[in-house]
């Protein structure tokens, strides 16, 4: 059976996960994974040119896929939309088998040279959530929805990392509050937009927003944070 580059990457990732809690997403761990998979160093570098960084991103992508699989398998039809969003974020966090893998990843992506990769990964997760839940916006709302959810997801992730409550109940309560805050803001925004007294003041910003068409949708697997989606 032919082993593809992606197969080899996943094998290296599986081998590396046991080392990450002790040595982080590091060159040391990457070399250990290469050795355990009995791969040629040149081939491993061709598959992962940036070494551990590429495997950290592969781990994040694996969690995203697990989240999507669960969204598709769960019956969310009886939930309100805000509850569906909360469920999707919860599914994403529950896809993590060891918090230390995420802590080490945050340390890696806090470095200036990798911060863009970390931001792109979070944006990609939130983009997948909106797409999976059927978002069809094609104007400035496409961006604001993802930017807002990125903030909610990031803050919930930080809370979750420090939460030792049973079944992470405090995290899910925190998530509900954050989404509630966002919904209150959206309600206020809708009230302002519908109030005729404010229309003269909103004419210019609304016109500017209307010029933003969102055929340019971002993907986490493309370079840069603002790249057109095909």
Tokens, residue 111: 């470095």
User: pTM for the whole thing?
Assistant: 0.82
Q: What angle do CA 83, 171, 118 make, to 5 degrees?
A: 90
Tokens, residue 100: 């230390």
> Is residue 66 within 8 Å of residue 97, measured between CB atoms?
no
- Dihedral sign for Cα 11, 13, 17, 18, please: positive
> Is residue 9 within 8 Å of residue 58, measured between CB atoms?
yes
Domains, the chain, ordered by start: 78-210 (1.10.357)
| Exposed/middle/buried for residue 42 (C-beta within 10 Å: 0-12, 13-18, 19+) | exposed
| Exposed/middle/buried for residue 219 (C-beta within 10 Å: 0-12, 13-18, 19+) | middle
Q: Provide the pLDDT for residue 132.
A: 97
d(CA 206, CA 214): 15
Tokens, residue 163: 């939460």
Q: How far is CA 80 from CA 87, 91, 171, 202, 224, in A?
A: 10, 16, 19, 30, 34
Q: What is the chain's pLDDT, residue by residue, as a tens digit (230 residues)? A: 567 999 999 999 999 999 999 999 999 999 999 999 999 999 999 999 999 999 999 999 999 999 999 999 999 999 999 999 999 999 999 999 999 999 999 999 999 999 999 999 999 999 999 999 999 888 778 888 899 999 999 999 999 999 999 999 999 999 999 998 877 755 545 554 555 654 554 454 454 445 444 444 444 443 444 444 44
């Amino acid at each position: 059976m032919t082993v593809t580059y992606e197969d080899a990457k996943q094998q290296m990732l599986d081998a590396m996960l046991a080392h990450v809690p002790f040595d982080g997403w590091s060159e040391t761990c990457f070399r250990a994974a290469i050795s355990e998979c009995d791969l040629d160093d040149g081939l491993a570098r061709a598959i992962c040119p940036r070494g551990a960084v590429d495997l950290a991103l592969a781990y994040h992508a694996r969690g995203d896929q697990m989240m999507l699989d669960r969204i598709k398998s769960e019956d969310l039809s009886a939930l309100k939309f805000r509850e569906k969003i909360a469920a999707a974020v919860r599914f994403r966090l529950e896809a993590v088998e060891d918090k230390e893998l995420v802590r080490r990843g945050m340390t890696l992506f806090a470095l200036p040279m990798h911060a863009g990769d970390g931001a792109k990964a979070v944006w990609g997760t939130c983009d997948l959530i909106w797409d999976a839940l059927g978002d069809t916006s094609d104007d400035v709302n496409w961006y604001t929805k993802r930017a807002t959810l990125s903030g909610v997801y990031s803050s919930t992730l930080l809370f979750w990392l420090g939460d030792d409550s049973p079944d992470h109940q405090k995290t899910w309560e925190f998530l509900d509050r954050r989404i509630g805050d966002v919904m209150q803001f959206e309600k206020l925004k809708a009230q302002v937009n519908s109030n005729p007294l404010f229309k003269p003041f909103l004419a210019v910003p609304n016109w500017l927003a209307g010029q933003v068409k969102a055929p340019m949708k971002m993907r986490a697997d493309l370079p840069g944070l603002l790249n057109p989606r095909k």
